[in-house]
Chains A and B, each alone.
Chain A
Amino acid sequence: MWENIKDFASTFFVTGDPLIYGADVSIGLTSIAILFVLTYFKKWKWLWREWITTVDHKKIGIMYLIASLLMLFRGGVDALLMRTQLALPNMKFLQADHYNAVFTTHGTIMILFMAMPLMFALFNLVVPLQLGARDVAFPFLNSMSFWLFLMGAMLFNLSFVIGGSPDAGWLSYPPLSELAYSPGVGENFYIWGIQISGIGSLATGINFLVTILKMRAPGMKMMKMPLFSWSVLSSSVMIIFAFPILTVTLALLFLDRFVGAHFFTMDLGGNPMMYVNLIWMWGHPEVYIVVIPAFGIFSEVVSTFSKKSIFGYKSMVFSMMLISVVSFFTWAHHFFTMGSSANVNVFFAISTMVIGIPTGVKIFNWLFTMFRGRITIKQPMLWTLGFIPCFVVGGATGVMLAVAPADYQYHNSYFLIAHFHQVLIGGVVFGYFAGMYYWWPKVFGFKLDEKLGKWSFWLWNIGFYVCFMPQYALGFMGMTRRLYTYGSDTGWDLGWAPLNMISTVGAFVMGLAFIVQVWQISYSIRKGERDLTGDPWNGRTLEWSIPSPAPFYNFAVVPEVEGTDAWWKTKEDLKNGIKPAPVKLEPIHMPKNSAIPFIMSVCWFIAGFGFVFGWMWMAIPGLVGVAISLLARSFTYDTDYYVQVDEIERTEAALRGRTV
């Protein structure tokens, strides 16, 4: 009996590596600390009522933000582990298989569990406010999206201490990810973690598409909509069409592993190349899904901090919507070396270069917006200015990679690594940071400290270039990706070691920058400049017309909109002595909180965990729980209520106080 338990535990828990034991201890201690704090301060009920069951888009956005910053920490630690291992030749810091697991989880977490939720955080925090709406179109579904994402992310992260991490690369190419070559449960964690959070992502895409098409304030025509909302529309369209492809592909891979199908195996009619083909049909739109909202953020920031309307509004809209369609026609450039016919490679090389054109249009539009504008350089603008040169270089190396014959040289080398980090950090991370600093006062009611922010900005920027510029050279020198170590001959004679060392230093500078940001946030919570006006940046769009943080119903009266930059025009009118028409408050229709999204997501987690270990006794009850949750929701009729006028009056008086 005792032997059996010991036997089970030694395969169930990951053992052997001191780093893992350290993680075990820290996870245990953190969990105990959280439980203790919640119990000691009697916050359980508060947590349940205010956060877990909430359907308020602003609170869901805050939860996305916290989760994504935690995931940035985890993915960042993975990156530093890798850079430490590669700093010198013949390092013995990580074993080969551990290194494989670390680069796999780094990639998957950074794209799917950091960039996506940070993007959804900004969607949730900003879009309804910008549109003059009181919530998203489907608040219940929104809450479900968040909890599914979180449960998927937790399932994926659990693999670090239970069962073993996936280690077949961030896209899990077969045949390596097939049962024959990855017999452990790591790949199952990968599949189910992504599947569960993927349902949430798809639902969010649908939710925001409908919100934007149907819930704009009266008078806000599509072509009067703020550009961030346009970028969310573009991104949502891509989510809706790309994520089902991912779901199907991973489902087929799961069938291969679970019931012995042969979709992607080497024998019996399977074809691993089909997996590569399918996964990039999702994978390429995915990178545009995460970068387009960053473009929207830059458009808002540049316009606000230059005190000008955006230059070329129509061309901005057109180029974003064009990208959302053309991005579905470029996927094969990820596997030019697969051996397709020359015609295939030519088509995808050209389509890849073509998609660079609308992106270039946008860069010029931002530059022309700044031209002769009255620029003030606050943190959001600083990140925008840091983004432009970084993204231009990243785009240029991207066009180099798009040249199919030349790609045979760059493919899977450190040149590629440097390129995609340049567009993903320089474009996505810088963009979302710009957005985070820009909308932070709207969400929390205080600004993030300017001085610490500048420190972190410069550390991030310098760290970035120090880390990734040497990697372009390393790529040309023949260093391939996913290499866990190199000998002293290539290290010293070919000159890999000095460049790798410089790159590692840069990575640690970025780590330091992140610590400064954490410090900045904790400092600003206590001492940051409070935003009493609701309009700290002299903004132009509707979200700045209401107090910070916004009341739970957002707008006491739904605003009437006449043109772009609606709030700016209202302010101009006020300056010219035109008073707004008196408004009459009416009861506001709001959705009720619900525990079903949380319960259903926990059931998904249980089902996913069961499937990972092939425990049907666990998976089936989990799925039954999901079905019961769906049924329960279908028969819930009491889902909404009205906020009465006197409550609105009291809330507004308390929030606006002196200002109105």
Chain B
Amino acid sequence: MSQHTHGHSTTDEVSQGHGSLKSYLLGFIFSIVLTIIPLVIVMNDMLNKTQTVVTLMLMAVMQLLVQLFFFMHIREGEKPRWNVMTLIVGLLIVFTVVGGSIWIMSFNSTVQ
């Protein structure tokens, strides 16, 4: 991290720390559980197709949140919160890319 060239780079970045052992363990357990649930559902054919897809998506979103909060420390860092702002713009673009493509490409079903 010492690649920054400024003489006045702050040294207290280190002392701020990134979470505790407890929060890392908690995050680890959450992410494992969120991985096992979909695996079990799919392996044992427990739900019908729609229910499976919905559950999987739900688990994926929760997994994303766990990663963001426990490992990527989205709550920490100095203000202004550039990382949060970038994340929001990123989400906007991702929704545009996916939603826009579905909308534009849906002409296939009407043409045939």
Interface residues, chain A, CB within 8 Å of chain B?
133-135, 137-140, 213, 215, 218, 237, 240-241, 245, 271, 273-274, 277-278, 281, 325, 328-329, 331-332, 338-341, 344, 558, 586-591, 639-640
Contact = CB atoms under 8 A, between A and B. Distances in A.
A140 B3 contact: yes
Q: Which one of B9, B93, B101, B111 has the highest number of Cβ atoms from chain A below 10 Å of its Cβ? A: B93
B21 interface: no
Q: Which one of B6, B9, B106 has the highest number of Cβ atoms from chain A below 10 Å of its Cβ? A: B6
A215 B82 contact: no
B96 A328 contact: yes
Given A277-B105, A588-B7, A590-B5, A241 B89 contact: yes
Contacts of A133: 5-6
Contact of A245 (B6, B97, B107): B97
A241 B3 contact: no
Contact of A341 (B89, B90, B107): B107
Contact of A277 (B8, B82, B104, B110): B104
A329 B107 CA distance: 19
Contacts of A215: 4, 6
A135 B7 CA distance: 11
16 contacts: A134-B5, A137-B4, A139-B3, A140-B3, A213-B82, A241-B89, A271-B108, A329-B100, A332-B104, A340-B104, A341-B110, A344-B104, A558-B8, A589-B5, A640-B2, A640-B3
Nearest to B108: A271
A68 to B, nearest CB: 25
B71 to A, nearest CB: 19
A241 B93 contact: yes
Contacts of A278: 101
A587 B7 contact: yes
Contacts of A241: 89-90, 93
Interface string B73-89: 00000000010001001
Nearest to B92: A325
Given A213-B82, A237-B89, A339 B107 contact: yes
B6 A339 contact: no
A563 to B, nearest CB: 20
A558 B7 CA distance: 9
Contacts of A586: 7
A281 B3 contact: no
Nearest to B111: A339
A274 B90 CA distance: 21
Contacts of B107: 338-341, 344
A270 to B, nearest CB: 12
Contacts of A237: 89
Given A274-B105, A340-B104, A344-B103, A134 B6 contact: yes
A245 B100 CA distance: 14
Interface of B: 2-9, 82, 86, 89-90, 92-93, 96-97, 100-101, 103-108, 110-111
B5 A591 contact: yes
Given A277-B105, A341-B110, A344-B103, A325 B89 contact: yes
Contacts of B106: 341
Contacts of A274: 101, 105
A133 B96 CA distance: 36
Nearest to A553: B5
Nearest to A347: B103
A241 B7 CA distance: 31
A639 B104 CA distance: 49
A344 B101 CA distance: 11
Contacts of B108: 271, 273
Given A218-B8, A340-B107, 19 more contacts: A133-B5, A139-B3, A213-B82, A237-B89, A240-B86, A245-B97, A277-B101, A277-B105, A325-B92, A332-B100, A339-B107, A340-B104, A341-B106, A558-B8, A588-B7, A589-B5, A590-B5, A591-B3, A639-B2
List 9 A-B pairs, minimum CB-CB distance, nearest first. A135-B5, A589-B7, A241-B93, A340-B107, A134-B5, A340-B104, A213-B82, A591-B5, A344-B104
Contacts of B96: 328-329
A139 B100 CA distance: 37
Nearest to B5: A135
Contacts of B5: 133-135, 139, 589-591, 640
A401 B75 CA distance: 45
B107 to A, nearest CB: 5
Contacts of A590: 5
A344 B82 CA distance: 33
A220 to B, nearest CB: 14
A331 to B, nearest CB: 8
B97 to A, nearest CB: 6
Contacts of A140: 3
A68 B79 CA distance: 38
Contacts of A589: 5-7, 9
Contacts of A591: 3, 5
B95 to A, nearest CB: 11
A610 B73 CA distance: 40
A165 B4 CA distance: 42
A341 B100 CA distance: 13
Contacts of B2: 639-640
Contacts of B103: 344
Q: Which one of B5, B7, B100 has the highest number of Cβ atoms from chain A below 10 Å of its Cβ? A: B5
Contacts of A277: 101, 104-105
A138 B2 CA distance: 10
Contacts of B89: 237, 241, 325
A169 to B, nearest CB: 20
A140 B4 CA distance: 10
B3 A639 contact: yes
Nearest to A586: B7
Contacts of A344: 103-104, 107
Given A274-B105, A277-B101, A277-B105, A138 B3 contact: yes
Given A134-B5, A138-B3, A339-B111, A328 B93 contact: yes
Nearest to A273: B105
B97 A281 contact: yes
Contacts of B82: 213
B1 to A, nearest CB: 11
Contacts of B9: 589
B105 A271 contact: yes
Contacts of B4: 137, 215
B104 to A, nearest CB: 5
A332 B96 CA distance: 12
